[in-house]
Structure 1
Amino acid sequence: MVDDYKHQSNTHFCAQLCWVMDLLESNLEAKSKFYKDPKSCSVFMINNLRYIVQKAKNSELGLILGDDWIHNHTAKIHRFHVSYQRSSWSEVVGFFKVK
């Protein structure tokens, strides 16, 4: 009976923690919109998400959130990185276009 209560308590705690992390990510995405330049927006998100993922990996937070959460957020960082590269290189490629 006590073990069931601990499991339910842990599950509830994990759900609450995931909700807080989603809220944090939503706030970061909203703040990234203050940057008008897409490159700056991408760098902002890369920097902040990378910090969060590193802290999660190196603490109990990573155990609570799980490997899937870490993997999904690492993939998000990669997508922002690709977005940054595309927006940066599009200017360079545009410079070399022959008119």
Structure 2
Amino acid sequence: MFFKLQHTEKDTKARAGLITTDHGEIPTPIFMPVGTQGTVKAVDQEILKNKIDAKIILGNTYHLYLRPGLDILKGAGGLHKFINWDRPMLTDSGGFQVYSIS
């Protein structure tokens, strides 16, 4: 993974950049649809790719651990193959969910 800063606004210090991963490029800032358990609910992947042009989706590691579980994800060859998504994906730790349950 590689990040390149492409522009910094002098007055506001806002920044724009490009993250390059093995699965594609992600311009920043970016809208990231949330697919807690891997897929974005109620939105077909064709719409995500061709209408919304989602460059990346966000999942939750804790929820993926609970369901579908590690064995199923490993058996499918990883999360990208399990959900048939060929673009970048980010997963958060799920730490908030673990903490809020205890």
Provide the TM-score with structure 1 as the length reference: 0.28
* Higher normalized helix content (fraction of residues): 1
* Higher normalized strand content (fraction of residues): 2
- Bigger-Rg structure (1/2): 1
Provide the TM-score with structure 2 as the length reference: 0.28
